[in-house]
């Protein structure tokens, strides 16, 4: 195969220049899915009609201007895709056909991307494991381990080279956790940048991209946000303002066209104050020693790149219980309109615990407001970006966690993935970057966090880490 395994930017450039047709690219990726997904379980359904949609992209008059021309994309199965069902990993959800695309899907299509399938997630996106009624999503690096969650299939599909980019969402780490498990990039934007999921968990959840290169991630984020300068922000760590003579494509959301305007493309140095916290969790919650070392090494790489680097301390102890209570309360809300008998045991138990907390008015609302209003800002201090672990431990085994009870699922989540939720609680942008390899052979991701509006800083630092410590774009056994 010539095009499966290539980056989104490479594919779009080739399609725009006429080196390959969009249909050929999509056919190759559908073949890759058919060949590889039996080992991974990333997709709930694959869209054969994607080939016809690729042919339609090829006929567009604005083909030469499309930033994602002919690029195959996978979409998490809790977002609307016109003509398909949206099951959210559950047998209890309606089997009705969606009559419209979610705004994020519509923007991807308008930019020339082709939706090749809908990816698996744990039931209602509630946990950091990859199993559901529709099967178990396995980690392409080690199929005995989970791909993480809840954007499980989206991350696994990218890591296994079945698509170059994928769309997911993140309510308590659901882009960053599977991204770190599978060794790919995942970015949760701050509120207002990208249209939110239909079920946004009272503002906790954001839609965002998964990719294997910072350039791909930046281009996809710029499309999702209808903000073309973000496509170049990885080069400088800032939104790049147009300067002649180069051109960029500018999104006009009202009439769905791209117009050409100048853009600056030269990389420029930038200097940030970077804090790093190898052990950010309160006492009682451990972080794997190799994950701590990766955070220190990433901080040193950024110091060498010219940034001011300082060490930071632990998150406040009260934040953990508040985050867990908020998570359980959202589980209760998500399951409240569905038939309990059709839900998995795990979902029922999480929802019951959340319902009790809501009745007792202990659902974490006060802690969330405290962290939003001043806690996060005070704790962050004068840093521009924080580097910390994405995970606290390697991914657990890939099994049917959905038929286990509350205690095993809650403890399993908290022990290995407690580092991401605080940044949903305050709504700050955060991303995971592949950086090292664990002695188990699994990837290690480091998490970058910035105050509101800091997405360009995250992309710029990620690009510097990518340059200093290049990572494998696909899991072993799935490289072309």
Backbone angles phi, psi at 29, to 5 degrees: -70, -35
Per-residue tokens: 334:
């998500």
CA dist., res. 229 & res. 10, Å (int)? 19
Q: CB of 411 within 8 A of CB of 396?
A: no
Output DSSP code: residue 118: E
Label each residue of 76-129 as H, E or C.
ECCCCCCCCECCCCCCCCCCCECCCCCHHHHHHHHCCCEEEEEECCCHHHCCCC
Indicate the helix (H) or strand (E) that contains 437.
Answer: strand 430-437
Q: Which residues pair with 209 in a beta bridge?
A: 167
Nearest to 433 by CA among 241, 195, 183, 175: 183
Which residues are catalytically annotated? 76, 150, 174
Output DSSP code: residue 375: I
Q: Which residues make Cβ contacts (< 8 Å) with residue 148, sequence separation at least 6?
A: 128, 129, 130, 139, 155, 177, 178, 179, 180, 181, 182, 395, 417
Output DSSP code: residue 63: G
Which residue has 């972080």 as its token pair? 287
Q: List the end-to-end C-alpha distance of the chain, in Å, as a whole number.
A: 8
Residue 354 DSSP SS3: helix
CA dist., res. 177 & res. 139, Å (int)? 12
**Residues, the chain:** 480
Nearest to 215 by CA among 22, 10, 15: 10
CA dist., res. 438 & res. 289, Å (int)? 10
CA dist., res. 207 & res. 326, Å (int)? 19
Q: Which residues make Cβ contacts (< 8 Å) with residue 442, sequence separation at least 6?
A: 139, 141, 142, 145, 181, 183, 394, 395
Output DSSP code: residue 471: -
Listed in order, strand segments (DSSP E) in 120-193 are 131-132, 135-136, 138-139, 142-146, 165-170, 185-188
Exposed/middle/buried for residue 97 (C-beta within 10 Å: 0-12, 13-18, 19+): exposed
| Start-end of H helices in 405-454 | 406-416, 422-425
Which residue has 């990333």 as its token pair? 42
């Amino acid at each position: 195969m010539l095009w499966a395994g290539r980056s989104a930017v490479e594919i779009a450039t080739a399609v725009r220049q006429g080196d390959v047709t969009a249909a050929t690219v999509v056919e190759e990726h559908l073949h890759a899915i058919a060949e590889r997904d039996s080992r991974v379980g990333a997709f709930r359904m694959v869209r054969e009609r994607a080939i016809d949609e690729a042919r339609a992209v090829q006929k567009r008059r604005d083909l030469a201007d499309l930033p994602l021309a002919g690029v195959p994309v996978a979409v998490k199965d809790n977002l609307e895709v016109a003509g398909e069902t949206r099951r959210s990993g559950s047998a209890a959800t309606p089997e009705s056909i969606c009559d419209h695309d979610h705004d994020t899907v519509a923007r991807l299509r308008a930019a020339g991307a082709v939706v090749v399938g809908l990816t698996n997630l744990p039931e209602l996106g509630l946990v950091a494991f990859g199993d559901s009624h529709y099967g178990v999503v396995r980690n392409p690096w080690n199929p005995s381990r989970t791909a993480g969650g809840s954007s499980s299939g989206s991350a696994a599909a990218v890591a296994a080279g079945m698509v170059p980019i994928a769309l997911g969402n993140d309510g308590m780490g659901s882009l960053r956790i599977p991204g770190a498990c599978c060794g790919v990039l995942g970015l949760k934007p701050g509120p207002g940048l990208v249209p939110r999921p239909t079920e946004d968990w009272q503002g906790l959840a954001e839609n965002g991209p998964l990719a294997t290169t910072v350039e791909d991630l930046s281009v996809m984020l710029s499309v999702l946000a209808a903000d073309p300068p973000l496509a170049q922000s990885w080069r400088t760590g800032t939104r790049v303002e147009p300067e002649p003579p180069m051109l960029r494509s500018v999104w006009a959301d009202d009439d769905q066209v791209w117009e050409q305007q100048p853009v600056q493309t030269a990389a420029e140095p930038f200097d940030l104050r970077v804090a790093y916290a190898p052990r950010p969790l309160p006492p009682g919650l451990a972080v794997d020693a190799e994950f701590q070392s990766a955070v220190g090494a990433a901080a040193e790489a950024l110091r060498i790149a010219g940034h001011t680097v300082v060490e930071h301390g632990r998150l406040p102890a009260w934040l953990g219980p508040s985050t867990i209570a908020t998570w359980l309360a959202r589980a209760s809300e998500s399951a409240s309109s569905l038939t309990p008998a059709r839900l998995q045991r795990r979902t029922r138990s999480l929802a019951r615990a959340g319902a009790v907390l809501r009745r007792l008015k202990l659902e974490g609302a006060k802690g969330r407001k405290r962290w939003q209003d001043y806690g996060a800002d005070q704790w962050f201090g004068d840093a521009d970006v924080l580097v910390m672990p994405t995970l606290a431990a390697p991914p657990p085994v890939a099994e049917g966690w959905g038929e286990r009870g509350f205690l095993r699922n809650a403890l399993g989540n908290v022990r290995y993935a407690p580092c991401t939720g605080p940044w949903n609680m305050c709504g700050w942008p955060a991303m995971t970057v592949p950086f090292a390899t664990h002695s188990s052979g699994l990837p290690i991701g480091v998490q970058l966090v910035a105050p509101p509006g800091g997405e360009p800083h995250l992309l710029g630092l990620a690009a510097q880490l990518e340059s200093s410590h290049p990572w494998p774009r696909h899991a072993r056994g799935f490289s072309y």
